Chains A and B, each alone.
Chain A
Amino acid sequence: MTEADRVAARGAAGAGPPSGTPHVEFIGVDKTYDGVTQVVRDLELTVYAGEFLTLLGPSGSGKTTCLMMLAGFEAPTAGQIRIAGQRVEDVPPRRRNIGMVFQNYALFPHMTVGGNLAFPLEVRRIDRSSAEERVRRALALVRLTGFEDRKPGELSGGQQQRVAIARALVFEPSLVLMDEPLGALDRRLREEMQYEIRRIQRALGVTVVYVTHDQQEAMAMSDRVAVFNRGRIQQVAPPEVLYEEPERGFVATFIGDNNLLHGRVVAARDDICTVDTGSGIVQAFLVAPRAVGDAVTLAIRPERVALAAEPGLYSNEFEAEVDDIAFLGDHLRVRVSVCGSSGFVVKIPNRVGHGGVLEDDRVRIGWTPLDCRALAPDEEDGGSP
C-alpha cells in the first residue's frame, strides 16, 4: 500500500487528509542538551491553521521539548521552526505572540485574576479601557465573569486552569500551546475541561498545539495526534486512523490495547501476507513494506478477536488455553496462550451466549486478516541516527 493509497483510505474512512494553510512547521529539527542524547530527532511536522494537534507520548519522548522549542524557551540544535512561514529560531519568546498554558498554570500569585489577564495587555501598551473590556470578554469565555478581584490562591484548581486559559487567549494570539494543562485535575473535572477547551478552540478558530501523555485525552480532543516515542514521531494522524490503522507497534500498543505477535513473512500477495510466528501460521494485512523473510510485528485488537463457535469461520483460527478471566461489567477480558504469546487478550462483550468460558478450558478463537496488521518491528524505527 503506497502513501497515496493510505491517504485515500483515510479519506474514504471519513477522516479527510490534513489540509489548509501551514501555521507551524518543524523542518528537520534535532535537539540535544548534552551533545550525546538526542531528545528530539529529525522532526518533521506541520500544524495547519485552526487545527487542534496533540503531541502524545510517554514521559521523556520529546513532546514537551518540541513545545518548548516552539514557544522559544529552548533552541533547536539543528533544523528550522517556522510560524506562518517565518523562521523563528532567533525570535525571543516575547516576540512570538504565542499563548501558553503551563502544566502548573503559572499564574502570578501576587496579582488578582484581573491583573493576571491584564498583564499581557499592559506590556503591549493597550489602553486601559479596551484592556478592561478584553479582560471581561476573556473571563466570560471561560465562564468566570466577576472573578477579576480574586487572587489565584483563592480559586479551585479548575478555576485556576480557566484563568490560565483566559490569560493565554486575552491578547488574541492565533497560536496557543498547552503543556499537560489538565494533569493536576481530577477525572471528572478533566473531562469537563477537555470539552471546554475544545469548545473555546472551535469558537475562536485558534491553532492549538497540545501536549499530553494521556491517550484518551488526546483522542477526545484532537483533530490530529502526533505520537512520540524516543524523540521521534511514530505517526501523525486523526484519532480514528491511529486506532484503526496504526503503522508501528508502538502506536498499536500506546493507543488502546493491542495484542502483539512476532514472526517472519513467508509469503506475500497484494496486501495480505502469511506470517510464521514459530507456533502458528497467521494471515495478516501488510502495512509496512515488508518482503518475504522480513521480521514483522502483528497487532490484533482484543475486541476484534472472537470465540469461534464452529471451525472455518475465520482464516486465522487457533485452539487456545484460557489462563485467566476477568469480569469487567460490560465485557470479559480473557487471557489465553496462542502463537507463542502467553498474554494474548480477548475481549468478549457481555451479552447472552458469551460462551460460558471457564478457566483452563480450551477454546477456539479467530480473527480476520484485515484485523491483524503486519507492522515493522519496533527495534527498527527507534534506532540510532
Chain B
Amino acid sequence: MSPRSGVGAYAHRAFCGAVFVFLIAPILVIVPLSFNAEPYFTFTEGMLRLDADAWSLRWYRSVAGDEQWLRAVVNSFVIGMGATVLATGLGVLAALGLADPRMPGRRLAMGILISPMVTPVIVSAAGMFFFYTSLGLAQTHAGLILAHAALGTPFVIITVTATLAGFDPNLTRAAAGLGAGEWTAFRRVQLPLILPGVVSGALFAFATSFDEVVTVLFMGGVEQRTIPRQMWSGVREQISPAILSVATVLIVFALFLMGTVEWLRRRGGRAA
C-alpha cells in the first residue's frame, strides 16, 4: 500500500485501529474481569482504583476445586485427542490418495470429504444425533470422538494437501529405486517432509473439537460435558465469573496453539 498523508492517513489508521479493537476488546476484557473478587461480570470501583482487595484468584480456585469443571477438562482432552488422532490418520491417508492424479473422481471425493467444513454445524449435529442414536453411539465418548473427527478431518486434508503440492513425487520414486518398501519410503522420506502440514492439520482438528459446543449439546449426556458445554450451562444457569477464569485459561491455550502453528509454518516454508 502506498504511503498516505494528511487527513486520509489518520482516517485510515483510525479505521484499522477500530477494526482491531472491535475484534480483540471483547476477548481481552474477559481477562481482568476473571480476577474479580466479587461475583459480578462488571468492573467494581475497587478494581478500577486498583485496590489489591478488589482482585482475587477466587474464581480460578473455584474452578480448580469443582468436580464438574474438572470432568469437563478431562472430557475435552479425551475427546479432543481421540478425535485428533482419528482425524489426522484418516486425513493424511485421504490427502495422499487425493494427491494421486490417477485416482478417479478425486474432485468429487474431495468435495464430500471437505463438506463438514461448509455444512452448518447444527445441520450435521442434528443429522448425527439421529444417526448415532440408532447405532447406540449417542451419549457416549466414542460417539463424540467420531463426530468431532468428522468435523476435524477436512482441516487435516486441506493442510496436508497443501504441503503435498510442494512435495516432489520423484523423491518417493528415488526411495523405491534405492530399495525402500512403500512403508519405509513413506516413513523416512515423505512423512518427515509433509510433517508441518500434518501437525498443523492436527492442531486445527484438536481446536475444532476443543471449542465445539453444538454437537456436544445434541449428542453428549451429562457424562460427556466438555469445557465449552460446561461454560454454556455456566452462562445459562449459574452466572459467575468462574467461566471468565476458564475463558482466560482457554485464551492462553489458544495463543499457544496459534504460536505452534505459526512456528511450524515458518519451518515448513524454510524446508521447501
Give residues in A with beta carbon < 8 Å to B.
71-73, 92-100, 102-104, 106-110, 119-120, 123-124, 167, 171
Query: How long is the Cα–Cα vector from A71 to B188 in the complex, in angstroms?
Result: 21
Could you give 18 example pairs across A and B, Cβ below 8 Å?
Answer: A71-B177, A72-B176, A73-B173, A94-B178, A94-B179, A95-B179, A100-B173, A100-B178, A102-B170, A102-B173, A104-B170, A108-B175, A119-B188, A120-B178, A123-B178, A124-B179, A171-B178, A171-B179
Q: Which of B186-202 contact A (CB under 8 A)?
A: 188-189, 192-193
B188 neighbours in A (Cβ, 8 Å): 119
B271 neighbours in A (Cβ, 8 Å): 109-110
Chain B positions 129 through 170: 1 when the CB is less than 8 Å from some CB of chain A, otherwise 0: 000000000000000000000000000000000000000101
Indicate whether A106 sits within 8 Å of B171 (C-beta atoms), given known contacts A92-B176, A97-B179, A171-B178.
yes
Contact B177 A100 (CB under 8 A): yes
Describe B's contact surface by its main secondary structure: helix
Describe A's contact surface by its main secondary structure: loop
A119 neighbours in B (Cβ, 8 Å): 175, 178, 180, 188
A92 neighbours in B (Cβ, 8 Å): 176
B189: nearest chain-A partner, CB-CB: A108
B181 neighbours in A (Cβ, 8 Å): 94, 123
**B238 at the binding interface (Cβ < 8 Å):** no
B170 neighbours in A (Cβ, 8 Å): 102-104, 106
Contact A108 B177 (CB under 8 A): no
Query: How long is the Cα–Cα vector from A98 to B173 in the complex, in angstroms?
Result: 12
Contact A98 B177 (CB under 8 A): yes
Indicate whether A102 sits within 8 Å of B174 (C-beta atoms), given known contacts A109-B271, A119-B188.
yes
Contact B179 A123 (CB under 8 A): yes
Q: A378 CB to closest chain B CB, in angstroms? A: 34
B176 neighbours in A (Cβ, 8 Å): 72-73, 92-94
Q: B194 CB to closest chain A CB, in angstroms? A: 11
Q: Contacts A94-B176, A100-B174, A108-B171 given; 15 further ones with Cβ under 8 A?
A: A71-B177, A93-B173, A93-B177, A94-B181, A95-B179, A97-B179, A102-B170, A103-B170, A104-B168, A106-B174, A109-B271, A110-B192, A110-B271, A119-B175, A167-B178
Contact A123 B180 (CB under 8 A): yes
B42 neighbours in A (Cβ, 8 Å): none
Query: How long is the Cα–Cα vector from A28 to B173 in the complex, in angstroms?
Result: 26
**B184 at the binding interface (Cβ < 8 Å):** yes
B170: nearest chain-A partner, CB-CB: A106
A93 neighbours in B (Cβ, 8 Å): 173, 176-177
Query: How long is the Cα–Cα vector from A108 to B179 in the complex, in angstroms?
Result: 14
Q: Which of B173, B174, B180, B188: most chain A CB closer than 10 A?
A: B174
B185: nearest chain-A partner, CB-CB: A94
A104 neighbours in B (Cβ, 8 Å): 168, 170
B168 neighbours in A (Cβ, 8 Å): 104, 106
A107 neighbours in B (Cβ, 8 Å): 174
Query: How long is the Cα–Cα vector from A267 to B192 in the complex, in angstroms?
Result: 71
Query: How long is the Cα–Cα vector from A171 to B177 in the complex, in angstroms?
Result: 11
Query: How long is the Cα–Cα vector from A92 to B180 in the complex, in angstroms?
Result: 11
Query: How long is the Cα–Cα vector from A69 to B175 in the complex, in angstroms?
Result: 17
Query: How long is the Cα–Cα vector from A144 to B178 in the complex, in angstroms?
Result: 20
B169: nearest chain-A partner, CB-CB: A106
Top 5 nearest A-B pairs (CB, nearest first) are: A120-B178, A106-B174, A106-B170, A100-B177, A93-B176
Contact A120 B179 (CB under 8 A): yes
B173: contacting residue among A95, A99, A106, A123, CB under 8 A: A106
Chain B positions 254 through 272: 1 when the CB is less than 8 Å from some CB of chain A, otherwise 0: 0000000000000000010
B175 neighbours in A (Cβ, 8 Å): 108, 119
